Structure 1
Amino acid sequence: MDISTNSHHPQQNPPNLKKRIAKATWSGTFTLIFGLLLAFIRISVDMSPSFMANQVAIIVGVVITISIVLDSRRGWKNLFRADILCLLALYFLTLIEFLYPQPKFDQRLTSEQTIQAIEVLMIGFSGLAIGRHITFFKPAPPEWLDFGNIPDKTLFRIFCISAFLAYFYILMSVDFNPVKVIESLLGSRFAVPWGRGKLGDWRVFLSELKLFTYVIPPLTGIIWNRRQSFRLWQIFLVMFVFVFTLFYGFSGGTRNVLAAYIATFMAAYFLTLQSPTLIKLLIPTAIMGYAMVFATRHMLGFREMGIINYLATAAYASEKVQDTLSVDYNLWSIGLLVDAFPNKHDFLGLELLFVFLTKPIPRVLWPDKPEGLSTSIEQVVGADGWTVSATYIGESYMMGGIFAVILVSICLGILANWWSRTAAFHTTGYGIVVNALGFFTAAISMRSLIVFTTSMLPIVGLIFIAKTFPGLLGVKRLRYQYQRK
């Protein structure tokens, strides 16, 4: 009997527990760091910025792949780690677009600024790679991450609760008219009725419930793998809500949101996959990979005008959309930040951490909460009326230069390592969902530290429900403890 799917209790002595704990290999890390060093020393000021970034993108992409292959020698499940997702997310945000021609990049940065940006980026990659080998925290989850009392039969109930919380405010904003929801999603993302103002008001409590949309994809992955335990109509409802959630993320034009949905779905799907075969691995990976590439190409094009106008004006066929791949030009913003701090602006120090840590606190509870940084990224790069991302690399540099980049990168690597190692102890679907949401936090924190704390709210919500209202999930309180060697 498969105890993970048919019992209320996890195994007391999981077999080969050490082999089940996912961790990076030193051979993979040495290969990665060597490749990062090689990528940096091969560039020179005589190269154009776009060609320089292209060469680095190729080399770093190759060595990350080799590093992952080396890690796979411990088994394919050893690849489901938050640190790998961090590396891939950072590569996607900063370098993948330079695998395609980017002639306009040469007008944005000088060669000197590009070299500085690449140097800081390589240091960030190296910090993540080294930090993932540091194990300050025990791999076994503490009591507050212990979900052994929640059987898998409650997964559908959890799914329904999460879907209700995620879309309640959206439906309330349109008088519970689903047609208006679709019409709004097809329009500009800034004109949706459920949008919130810059500073927010009492409705922020309800609007933040949309974070529960991030719970839906991992639950879908688990329920699909264990679909024999559910009725046909339940599977149909789960897939319908999941597809709608993907459309909701796509229509918003924010690629990191859609990427998070896909990443958490894939993480939960692979972690609960029974009898894995090449078809079960490659088909969903190919479908989701193509969906993300397709979305990346088009989401920037329609998020201002909306999908309806995007299709009506045939903007999708424009040269701008068809000829290249555009992400965020984060390397450009990193280059300008490195050039500006501390030459033109003082380092922000702990101010940046304070703003980020207090981000989840609603302004209605703290009217005097800081509105933002004293020196914003937009102010430095000259962005007027639009937001700019610089990944956590740029934000860390604003805080304290290269030293801050090293420190933050290592800390993120340590946290990613710990979260990945706890996955071996999650034997119930509920625990795997919580773990998969940690993968989402790891990935999205690469884009910005400011969302690190807010992205943790769904995890906190699930933990709160499980520990405070177990009856809501149809289970009784039960404490147990693994026998550890």
Structure 2
Amino acid sequence: MGNDINLMNISSNPYYPQQKPPVFKKNIAKATFLGTVVFISSLIVAFVNISLDQTPSLMANQVAISVLVGIALSIWSDSTRGLRNLFRADLASIVALYFLTLIEFLYPQTKFDQLLTSEQTAYALYVLLVGFAGIAIGRHITLFKPVPPSFLDFSNIPDNALFRIFLISAFLAYFYVFITVEFNPIKLIEAELGPRFAVPWGRGRLGDWRVFLSELKLFSYAIPPLAGIIWNRRQSFRSWQIFVVFIIFAFTFFDGFAGGTRNIFGAYIATFLGGYLLTIQRPNLLNVTAPIAVMGYAMVFATRHMLGFREMGISRYLETAAYASQKVQGTLSVDYNLHTIGLLVDAFPNKHDFLGLELLFVFATKPIPRVLWPDKPEGLSISIEEVVGADGWTVASTYVGESYMMGGMLAVLLISVCLGILATWWSRTAAFHTTGYGIVVNALGFFTAAVSMRSLIIFTTSMLPILGLIFFAKTFPGLLGIKRLRRQYPRS
């Protein structure tokens, strides 16, 4: 008792220093200065070598090669700080933008020469290179502290809660899907193998009350990173739990592939790699490059075939042997986003006024269900489809094309820098996540960074799973089998 009193007196005595929590040096992932210099240098080389005397496809091919070399050398420079330094949202953004715009031009694209003039292609490439440079510059601007705010503190969630949140995410993602097929697995598989727009769980253009249930499918994005983390920490789970995780994970990948939407399938790959790579205990060349190589091949394979079967469905695609056509096997085709960017650059402001903040307003309000806001704007005053003459189908132009519609080259630069700033802040917070739950939330940020390259509208909707997981952890901790953190104050 006397010792306790003495210890209490010592701890409250102002002459004795108070104990402080241990300070851990965090290995914060960030781009190296040399890597950025090399990358921007490759962009400058690509810029100065663009010649109007070349055909559009050759022009794009030379830029694709130069930028690819710059990305590779930048990654090599960043890897000198350790393999974990490559697990960054800004790098995911750059790679995703390259995939969406330039990777197809590493293959012969003679058809592209009939789509754009040399002048349109040159200006499209100029705008694209500015976008790459903006992200590269923005990732070195640290306006926010790396320490996550309190709403991103998940230190009270043990890893054994991961399996529970995995099941909750799967239930929320696929409950409406199973309702529409009357919980009949045969009908489900038949629908998955059919045309993507004919699935019974699809939503209408404007949506109704059922949009609440259909939008819950966004929780499927939490399944791949959870699977990657649970696999790395499989010693903490039972064999039957690992089996259940594998089955649901495999179905999620199949669902993403059968849907024919490549950005969704790519998002599953990106989030799986994010969860897996961020939780490797001892990263080495094999356990890092092997999964990346496998997933990279899966994405290339999907890119080759998903365009071919998404209108007719996998069943008819196989029955008619459409996969053997020259269109599928002759080259690699993504979306020809560079073609769309070229048409937009040619149209604004020559034919249409810049949209200004209208585009950001429409995209920011996109996640709000129309049933809650009946007068919500249906779209832009002038859509991308109207500009490029697409009748009956949607057209993507990446965030670069959308930003140009806002305010030209300056808007592209500013939006790119902002995306780089946000990406590097999110990557820096990863070092402070110690629980699997926090890493899942962080990995979903990698998904947001990657898919936002396709469209700014996805930036807002892709954050919904992140907000959902934060909501669960902070509002219903008992649902995850955890207790609220309570601060311990000394007794007076």
TM range (shorter): over 0.9
Aligned residue runs from structure 1 range 86-97, under 5 A: 86-97=93-104
Which residue in 1 is equivalent to 2:8? none
Q: Deviations over 1:111-162 (max 9, x none)?
A: 0000000000000000000000001100000000000000001100010000
- Structure showing greater Rg: 2
Aligned counterparts of 1:480 and 1:292: Cα–Cα separation in 2: 46
Which residue in 2 is equivalent to 1:306? 313
Shift of 1:275: 1.9
Aligned counterparts of 1:464 and 1:132: Cα–Cα separation in 2: 28
Aligned residue runs from structure 1 range 184-199, under 5 A: 184-199=191-206
Shift of 1:179: 1.3
Q: Does 2:276 align with 1:265?
A: no
Native 8 Å contact 2:83 2:283 kept in 1: no
Aligned counterparts of 2:114 and 2:36: Cα–Cα separation in 1: 35
Q: Which among 189, 214, 221 is matched to residue 182 of structure 1?
A: 189
Shift of 1:12: 5.6
Which residue in 2 is equivalent to 1:235? 242
Aligned counterparts of 2:401 and 2:486: Cα–Cα separation in 1: 44
Judging changes above 3 Å, is the alpha-carbon distance between structure 1 residues 54 and 12 closer, same or farther for their aligned structure 2 residues?
A: farther
Q: Does 2:400 align with 1:393?
A: yes
The secondary structure found in structure 2 opposite 1:83 is: helix
Structure 1 stretches lacking a partner, 5+ long: 1-10
Q: Does 2:288 align with 1:281?
A: yes
Aligned residue runs from structure 1 range 355-366, under 5 A: 355-366=362-373
Judging changes above 3 Å, is the alpha-carbon distance between structure 1 residues 401 and 479 closer, same or farther for their aligned structure 2 residues?
A: farther
Q: Deviations over 1:371-429 (max 9, x none)?
A: 11111000000101011000000000000111110110000000001000000000000
Native 8 Å contact 2:355 2:405 kept in 1: yes
Which residue in 2 is equivalent to 1:78? 85
Aligned residue runs from structure 1 range 53-452, under 5 A: 53-452=60-459
Judging changes above 3 Å, is the alpha-carbon distance between structure 1 residues 349 and 235 closer, same or farther for their aligned structure 2 residues?
A: same
The secondary structure found in structure 1 opposite 2:200 is: coil
Shift of 1:44: 0.4
Q: Does 2:69 align with 1:51?
A: no
Q: Deviations over 1:136-192 (max 9, x none)?
A: 100000000000000001100010000000000000111111111111000000000
Q: How much identity, in percent, do the aligned residues show? A: 74
Letter in 2 for 1:240: I
Q: Does 2:461 align with 1:454?
A: yes
The number of equivalent residue pairs is 469
Judging changes above 3 Å, is the alpha-carbon distance between structure 1 residues 12 and 155 closer, same or farther for their aligned structure 2 residues?
A: farther
TM-score, structure 2 length as denominator?
Answer: 0.94
Aligned counterparts of 2:391 and 2:294: Cα–Cα separation in 1: 37
Native 8 Å contact 1:423 1:432 kept in 2: yes
Q: Which among 6, 11, 24 is matched to residue 15 of structure 1?
A: 24
Aligned counterparts of 2:161 and 2:21: Cα–Cα separation in 1: 21
Which residue in 1 is equivalent to 2:49? 42
Letter in 1 for 2:202: G
The root-mean-square deviation of aligned C-alpha atoms, in Å, is 1.2
Letter in 2 for 1:113: Q
Aligned counterparts of 1:126 and 1:140: Cα–Cα separation in 2: 26
Letter in 2 for 1:439: F
